[in-house]
A and B are shown apart, each in its own frame.
Chain A
Amino acid sequence: MDYTVNDQTINADEEGYITDISTWSIDLAGTIAETENIDMGDDHWEVVNFLRDYYEEYQIAPAVRVLTKAVKKSLGPEKGNSKYLYELFPYGPAKQACKIAGLPKPTGCV
């Protein structure tokens, strides 16, 4: 399930997670979001950028709890809960937001 962005083909696995994180771009994120039926607003980008920063430091996506805390800090207490994150990313902030952020899918019993 590859993506085409600016005439370039970006490889992705069966579920749409890109296979090489260095091929990520802002345009690609927009394309992935489109296939996920998500209209990227400022709050979506806030989450995606946080995920990418966290990944750069820790080589994994943050726990949902860590993410909600960060969102609370930057977007305010009324948005710092998993309900709001699921409104942004209905298929789950961990999995769907990771896909758009170009990060590998969290695996295991999650």
Chain B
Amino acid sequence: MDDYTLPELREPVEIPEINTGAMAHSQPFVAAPKHQLALGFPGELVDDWHDKAIAKFGELLESQRALKVYMDACVKCGACADKCHYFLGTGDPKNMPVARQDLMRKIYRRYFTWAGKWFPWLVGAKDLTRDVLDEWYSYFHQCSQCRRCSVYCPYGIDTAEFSMAAREIMDHVGMGQKYCNEIIGKVHDIGNNLGLPEKALGATLEDLEEDLEDDTGVAVRLPLDEKGADILLITPSADFFAEPHVDGLMGYAKVFHQAGVSWTLSSQASEAANFAMFIGSHDQMGKIAERIKDAAMELGVKRIIVGECGHAWRVAYNFWDTLVGPFDFLDPAYPIPQHICEFTFDLIQKGELTFDKSANDHMTLTFHDSCNVSRASRMGDIPGGQFKIPREIIKACCNNYVDMATDTIHENTFCCGGGGGLLTDDLIELRAKGASPRMGAYEQVVKHHGVTHLAAICAICKTQFSKVMPMYGFAMDDIVGVHQLVNNALILDGLGE
């Protein structure tokens, strides 16, 4: 561990002592010129960055009505102040959502309101200086865009919209973040965040097919680029690479096998994630979404199903239609798009899946609601389906399940600490501290209800927890995927085929 101390775990969480400037040093690596230029942003901070930033800010206020309303609506009631996991984990007052918003609001007032132009000292309006820009870079990369604060705000002000807009402005003046922008470049060049070329993807899938057959005696397939398949599965590339993600991928494959549907992955769209949302770039978000639509059309599929990825589901569910729609070439009899959990849950309800629940008896599970699924989208055809469906799948394939405290689940869920483009080693202190509210709630169910494992449906959550759980005294493989549990317990037909 580097030179920082983790907060003590507490549930219910306690408001930490104010520690001014505690995280002022935290900032991610700045994107290299080649990563910036590849996305059409300036390579480095431009000379006239001040004017460019204000111009871009003005554009965003014109084009994004919500942003403009949020700038004006805050009444400083303080309801959000103790709701951010990064504030709770660090005590830095600038990580209070209202303070984070004010970093941008003070500039808004100075340049875009009458009072701020003439009487800045009366309304908290400030000039955009280099110090302010640097502060933006630090603190808008201490927001995981999880939107928990917006649940408690009486006006519904969403700090994620501030941090997305701020990052969009910073990209346009040449001050982008390395982690996100390098990854978006890889999506365009290679097809996925990981940079996994087609040949390697094919070899990985073949290898997994061998493993599946060795384990089960059944030829479960992981098809790639199969034209004429009914279903295109898009999933985070971490599912091809990382632990525990890959076990979930095998779970999806078993469900498709058991459902008897034809499906395929795509080498062109071998990634569900859309990091452009994290940097607030509608332009990039559209381009990344477009290649999935193109792949679906080219393969001639009738349905698109999205694997376990939190923000990909938000982008697909909320933004695809506006960005690159219509998807009228898909079969309207099915949800467009459909979540893998919806697909599996539907089969469970129809009685088409049989589980050997004892395969998961060595675990007692709890479920971590991922932010973008919980607060920014939904599943199924009933309100709250995004909370119910993953839990019902877990309960269908596991005997032991316990929920965490109610103010830490469903729409009140705490972020894992690594969402929103912050899942990078250069922000590990922030990630570790920001995970503490979730870890506190988890520790309670471990102590009092014998919980042994935390299940999630997001690649970021899985990676983040496997990294930070050992820091809090848990094991790195105490985090599991929901379809990993399905993979463990699903009984397959066709033995010996």
Residues of A within 8 A of B (CB): 14-15, 57-60, 62-66, 69, 82, 86, 94-95, 104, 106-110
Contact = CB atoms under 8 A, between A and B. Distances in A.
B29 interface: yes
Contacts of B268: none
Interface in B173-223: 178-179, 182-183, 186, 192-197, 199-200, 203-204, 207-208, 211
Given A14-B426, A58-B203, A110 B194 contact: yes
Given A58-B203, A60-B196, A66-B204, 13 more contacts: A14-B426, A15-B29, A15-B425, A15-B426, A63-B246, A65-B207, A65-B243, A94-B241, A94-B242, A107-B183, A108-B186, A108-B194, A110-B238
A60 B462 CA distance: 22
What 4 pairs between A and B have smallest CB-CB spacing? Answer: A108-B193, A58-B200, A109-B459, A109-B238
B367 interface: no
Contacts of B195: 60, 104, 106-108
Nearest to A104: B195
Contacts of A58: 197, 199-200, 203
A60 B197 contact: yes
A59 B460 CA distance: 24
Contacts of B425: 15, 95
Interface in B221-276: 236-238, 240-243, 245-246, 271, 273
Given A60-B195, A63-B204, A109 B423 contact: yes
Contact of A60 (B182, B200, B460): B200
Given A15-B425, A15-B426, A108 B197 contact: no
B476 interface: yes
A62 B246 CA distance: 13
Contact of B243 (A15, A57, A60, A82): A82
A98 B334 CA distance: 43
Contacts of A63: 204, 207, 240-242, 246
A60 B242 contact: no
A58 B29 CA distance: 28
A86 B476 contact: yes
Interface string B294-305: 000000000000
B246 A108 contact: no
B463 interface: yes
A69 B246 CA distance: 14
Nearest to B241: A63
A92 B33 CA distance: 28
Contacts of A107: 179, 182-183, 186, 193-195
Contacts of A15: 29, 425-426
18 contacts: A14-B29, A60-B196, A63-B242, A63-B246, A65-B246, A82-B477, A94-B241, A106-B194, A106-B241, A107-B193, A108-B194, A108-B195, A109-B236, A109-B237, A109-B242, A109-B462, A110-B238, A110-B242
Nearest to A107: B183
Contacts of A69: 207
B194 A66 contact: no
Contacts of A95: 425
Residue among A15, A65, A110 with most chain B CB within 10 A: A110
B460 A109 contact: yes
Residue among A104, A108, A110 with most chain B CB within 10 A: A108
A109 B193 contact: yes
A92 B406 CA distance: 34
B396 to A, nearest CB: 26
